[in-house]
Amino acid sequence: MTAAREDRMFNIVVYSLLSLVALCVLYPLVYVVSASFSDPQYIMGGEIWLWPKGMTVDSYASIFKNDAIVRGFLNTLLYTAAGTGLNLVMTILAAYPLSRSDFAGRNLFMGVMVFTMFFGGGLIPTYLLIKNLHLLNTFWVMILPGAVSVWNIIIMRTYFQQSIPAEMQEAAVIDGCSNFQTLIRIVLPLSMPIIAVTVLYYAVGHWNAFFNALLYLSDRKQFPLQLILREILIQGQTDEMVRASTESAIKQQRAVEGIKYAVLVVANIPMFLLYPFLQRYFVKGIMVGAIKG
């Protein structure tokens, strides 16, 4: 009897704590979305607690009229697509040879790559290299310096080793397949799950990246969305947004507050749409990595 009551008490504690955690995480997100659909005067007046007040899409309308944001969005799309494509190719090119036990020198190659996880040249020597290569303010600087990651190579190599029967590859070789043909005809068609994981990992990374752009780009036309976000949200550079309008100062200030929330939502729309996949595949990736690492 007392055991059952203890059990019930325990359950109450567990469920309330978890609800509290979920609430703390969820509330700021819901608030941002609500505020982005609200009339900014209510945001500034502190009248929004949960649901939108004075429903409007004005803030979104001003975003789409803003060149910097639209261009940033398109730039990010381009960097993400091109960068992820390069990442995927490079990761496969490294992971496949490293997955083969008859690949002489695999430990050496692996060592060369893994060492860079623990030690590197650092910010300044890397910056000087990029400068010497004349990559500053080019499209390439957004995709080349992070062309591949050791972590993803390890995950994909592990998948190749564990999920694709070596006998199948041997049979292909006996049938006259070269290594390239084996990779393309046998291995890759069987590796779609891990390719999906890899693509998502890299794509999210590119979408959210801002630091390389901050370091290596000074031409605002090339800025990815995250740098534009930084200007608006963190540095408070919002003059340009409202300069064109002839509204009074107070109205301009209101518009700016609304834009801040709307731009947060817009920047995360792709993430929101992909979230079901992200959650599933990323968790899988962690598991593969955990077995190995």
| Footprint of other proteins on 211-240 (CB under 8 A) | 211, 215, 226-227, 229-230, 232-234
Pick 44 or 190: Cβ nearer other proteins: 44
The residue behind tokens 């595949």 is 281
CB of 234 to other proteins, least distance (A): 6
Which residues, 6+ apart, have CB-to-CB distance to 223 below 8 Å? Answer: 68, 71, 72, 75, 213, 217
Nearest to 217 by CA among 201, 207, 228: 228
Write the burial class of residue 36 (CB in 10 Å: 0-12 exposed, 13-18 middle, 19+ buried). buried
The distance from CA 107 to its chain's CA centroid, rounded to whole angstroms, is: 30
What does the block give as tokens for 88?
């995927």
| CA angle centred on 208, ends 203 and 209, rounded to 5° | 100
164 counts as binding other proteins under rule CB under 8 A: no
Pick 221 or 280: Cβ nearer other proteins: 280
| CA angle centred on 120, ends 119 and 126, rounded to 5° | 170
x/- track of binding to other proteins for residues 234-273 (CB under 8 A): x----------------------x--xx--x--xx--x--
Residues 48-87 contacting other proteins, CB under 8 A: none
Residues 109-138 contacting other proteins, CB under 8 A: 109, 112-113, 116, 118-129
Pick 78 or 215: Cβ nearer other proteins: 215
Among 52, 204, 251, 292, the residue binding other proteins under the rule CB under 8 A is 204
CB of 119 to other proteins, least distance (A): 5
